[in-house]
């Protein structure tokens, strides 16, 4: 068992002021595999002081120096990739091969892109007698989730550092290992002391202290809608900037002009997007909106794709579906399965029984419902391997269903007529729309509409989120 007794402040691993520890549990075995400090407000004070002291020199550092550190960190992530992937797999259940691809390689690519995109930011702009300049927002509090424990740290903490800010990071205590490794990598890459500080702990203590701290200039959170509400309330006391990436209930609209081959591809892509990371993805396409005339064909294709998934030990190379990340999430997902059945939704495949051959761990059988968009399973974020199929008669009805949600993080549209697909995509209120399975572009901005939050991450736009504008008049 790994025991981490320290926090990272001003370039050093130092003891937390707390005598309490938090257990990290392997969701596949339900065994305690690590412990981290249950940090305190005093820990946050020390980390914020270190960040504030480091901010001045770092904010004046050259773009070349920041880019050099990002590139060195990217190389460090690759060098320690096996260790990082194993940590993620053991702590939150992501299959090992998936962790290596969707976390390690993705983050290395992202850090490289930050280095390349820094010079593309318009740091200065002349406007008559004014010089418009961009400068770092200041000390940033970064609060990251467990479902993508390396990637989320990189697009918040590393993006803020690249922009010239100093950071205090609170990683999730459910899956903290990758963040701790990345902290070591950043230090070894030459990042000056105090620019990145890490305090583990609970949201109610460390998160609250960080969000309300008078010397923290901005808070960036990825989490639930309720967590976003609390951050906004607490941050309002000092009127600090907030960036929020919250929940989603993303629609995937299949239009009625698809031929059989494209329909099969659309359904397979949609199921895969919904089930990635065991459905624990804010932007997962969890509502498949399909023509009523094609629904039985869609159901058959979706069931076949779902049954191809292999649930089991995340360290087994044959496993393609791991457990959900913790006992609380397991109970939440199962409760939604019960709600769906009680609401009268048609259970197409899956349900409350665990996957075949599973006798321990927080495993949920991949489940598909056919439901009405008014049902709770179609409106609330489940954050588990659950897909809801909803039917429509006309394009106008499909669009209305897609937008009939409090969320607006992501969406998908499939059509043989690309102009028709583009027209539908233009009217969906979501921050990102994939058309005909277009692959994700990590340099394109990602963020939400409505209750999915505000602010943008990834690429140049993600770094610009941590800048503020100043006018110099001559």
> Using 50, 70 and 90 to split pLDDT, how confident is the model at 1?
confident
Using DSSP's 3-state secondary structure scheme, residue 456 falls into: coil
- CA pair distance 369, 32, nearest whole angstrom: 34
**149 within 8 A of 37, measured Cβ to Cβ:** no
Tens-place pLDDT, residues 129-152:
999 999 999 999 999 999 999 999
Q: How confident is the model at residue 453 (pLDDT cuts 50, 70, 90)?
A: very high
pLDDT of 128 reads: 96
Give per-residue burial for 207-242: e unless 16+ CB within 10 Å, then b: bbbbbbbeebbbbbbbbebebbebbeebbeeeebbb
**Among all residues, which ones are annotated catalytic?**
245, 282
Domain positions in the chain are 2-246+452-473, 251-441
CATH code, residues 2-246+452-473: 3.40.605.10
Report the chain's mean pLDDT, rounded to a whole number: 97
pLDDT, one tens digit per residue, over 210-260 is 999 999 999 999 999 999 999 999 999 999 999 999 999 999 999 999 999
Taking the C-alpha atoms of residue 112 and residue 134, their distance in angstroms, rounded to an integer, is 22
Strand, coil or helix: what is 262? Answer: helix
Strands 241-245 and 251-254, sheet pairing? unpaired
User: Token pair of 52, please?
Assistant: 């504030």
Please provide residue 314's backbone torsions phi and psi, each rounded to the nearest 5 degrees. -60, -20
| C-beta separation of 144 from 179 below 8 A | yes
Beta-ladder partners of 87: none
Backbone φ and ψ for 2, nearest 5 degrees, come out as -90, 130
pLDDT tens profile 300-336: 999 999 999 999 999 999 999 999 999 999 999 999 9
CATH number for region 251-441: 3.40.309.10
Average pLDDT estimate for 341-364: 96
Task: Tell me what pLDDT residue 445 has.
Answer: 96
Measured CA to CA, the distance from residue 451 to residue 454 in angstroms comes to 8
Q: For the chain, give the percent of residues with pLDDT over 70.
A: 100
pTM score: 0.96
Q: Does residue 12 register a pLDDT over 90?
A: yes
C-alpha torsion angle, residues 307, 312, 317, 322 (rounded to 10)? 80
CA dist 445 and 431 (Å) reads 8
**HEC string for 134-188:** EEECCEEEEECCCCCCCHHHHHHHHHHHHCCCEEEEECCCCCCHHHHHHHHHHHH
d(CA 390, CA 290): 6
Q: In what order do the strands lie in the sheet with 2-3?
A: 2-3, 31-37, 21-26
Please tell me the distance from the alpha carbon of residue 299 to that of residue 3, in angstroms, as a whole number: 47
User: What's the pLDDT band for 95 if we cut at 50, 70, 90?
Assistant: very high
Percent of the chain with pLDDT over 90: 99
- DSSP class of residue 321 equals B
């Amino acid at each position: 068992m790994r025991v981490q007794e320290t926090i990272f402040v001003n370039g050093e691993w130092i003891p937390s002021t707390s005598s309490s520890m938090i257990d990290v549990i392997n969701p596949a075995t339900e065994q305690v595999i690590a412990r981290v400090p249950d940090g305190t407000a005093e820990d946050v004070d020390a980390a914020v002081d270190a960040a504030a002291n480091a901010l001045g020199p770092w904010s004046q550092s050259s773009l070349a120096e920041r880019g050099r550190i990002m590139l060195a960190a990217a190389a460090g992530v690759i060098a320690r990739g096996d260790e990082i992937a194993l940590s993620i797999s053991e702590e939150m259940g992501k299959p090992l091969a998936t962790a290596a691809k969707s976390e390690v390689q993705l983050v290395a690519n992202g850090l490289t892109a930050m280095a390349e995109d820094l010079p593309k930011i318009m740091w200065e702009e002349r406007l008559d007698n004014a010089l418009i300049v961009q400068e770092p927002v200041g000390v940033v509090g970064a609060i990251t989730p467990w479902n993508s424990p390396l990637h989320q740290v990189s697009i918040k903490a590393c993006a803020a550092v690249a922009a010239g800010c100093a950071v205090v990071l609170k990683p999730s205590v459910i899956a903290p290992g990758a963040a701790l490794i990345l902290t070591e990598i950043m230090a070894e890459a030459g990042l000056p002391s105090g620019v990145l500080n890490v305090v583990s702990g609970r949201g109610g203590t460390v998160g609250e202290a960080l969000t309300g701290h008078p010397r923290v200039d901005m808070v960036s959170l990825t989490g639930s809608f309720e967590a976003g509400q609390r951050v906004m309330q607490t941050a309002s006391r000092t009127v600090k900037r907030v960036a929020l990436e919250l929940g989603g209930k993303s629609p995937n609209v299949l239009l009625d002009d698809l031929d059989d081959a494209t329909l099969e591809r659309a359904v397979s892509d949609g199921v895969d997007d919904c089930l990635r990371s065991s459905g624990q993805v804010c932007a997962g396409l969890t509502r498949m909106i399909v023509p009523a005339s094609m629904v039985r064909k869609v159901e058959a294709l979706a069931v076949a794709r779902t049954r191809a998934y292999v649930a089991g030990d995340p360290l087994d190379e044959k496993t393609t579906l791991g457990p959900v990340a913790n006992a609380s999430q397991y109970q939440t997902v199962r409760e939604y399965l019960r709600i769906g059945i009680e609401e009268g939704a048609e259970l197409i495949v899956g349900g409350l029984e665990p996957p075949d051959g599973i006798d321990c761990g927080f495993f949920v059988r991949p489940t598909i419902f056919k439901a009405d968009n008014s049902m709770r399973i179609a409106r609330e974020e489940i954050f588990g391997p659950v897909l809801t199929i909803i039917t429509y008669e006309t394009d106008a009805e499909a669009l209305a269903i897609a937008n009939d949600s409090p969320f607006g993080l992501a969406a998908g549209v499939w059509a043989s007529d690309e102009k028709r697909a583009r027209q539908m995509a233009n009217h969906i209120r979501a921050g990102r729309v994939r058309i005909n399975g277009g692959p994700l572009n990590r340099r394109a901005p990602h963020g939400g509409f409505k209750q999915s939050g505000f602010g943008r991450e990834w690429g140049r736009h993600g770094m610009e989120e941590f800048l503020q504008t100043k006018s110099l008049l001559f």
